[in-house]
Amino acid sequence: MTSWRATRPPTAFTDFTLIAAASATGLVIFFWHPPARLTHWPLEVTDAIGLGLFVVTGTAVGYDWGVSAPSAALLGLTTGVGGGIIRDVLSGRVPAILRTDEPLYAIPAFCGAVLTATLMHFDWYRAWIGLLCALAVIAFRLLALRYRWHGPRPYYVSRDE
């Protein structure tokens, strides 16, 4: 027998308020082109916040649905970086996660997902601890942006890139 959650559509698709807010935001951005000073650093900060929250939420939802801790961590990682990938693709850019010249993105998400899944596995997870996990991901990502931390590059990519 399936859970009641499996038979209901997600709230994002049934709550008209959420649909209207997303549509209005899309229309504003379509017609108004904000100056670079409003899109560079503020966008990076809000993206880091979204990354942290989606990583923890994706991991927690996966674990609550009964998948193993490693699978929940992978689900949290995918949930976290998926939004950034969609954003980049829709804006006509190569996703940041695939570019070697971009600061760490998936590694902070992976660390946060593993931390969250581990805490859930040992039943140490609480809502406030989830918030701390999200804050850790946010801080890690913002530090990577500030100090231009990069992951290891493939041997075939020039270090001068």
Q: Which residues contact 11 (CB under 8 A, 6 or more apart)?
A: 18
- DSSP structure string for 76-135: HHHHHHHHHHHHHHHTTS--GGG-TTSPPSHHHHHHHHHHHHHHHHTT---HHHHHHHHH
- Yes or no: say if 159 and 114 are a contact pair by the CB < 8 Å rule: no
pLDDT at 77 over 90: yes
CA 160 to chain centroid: 29
pLDDT at 3 over 70: no
What pLDDT digit, counting tens, does each position of 14-51 carry? Answer: 889 989 998 998 899 889 887 877 778 888 999 999 99
Report if pTM > 0.85: no
pLDDT of 11 reads: 79
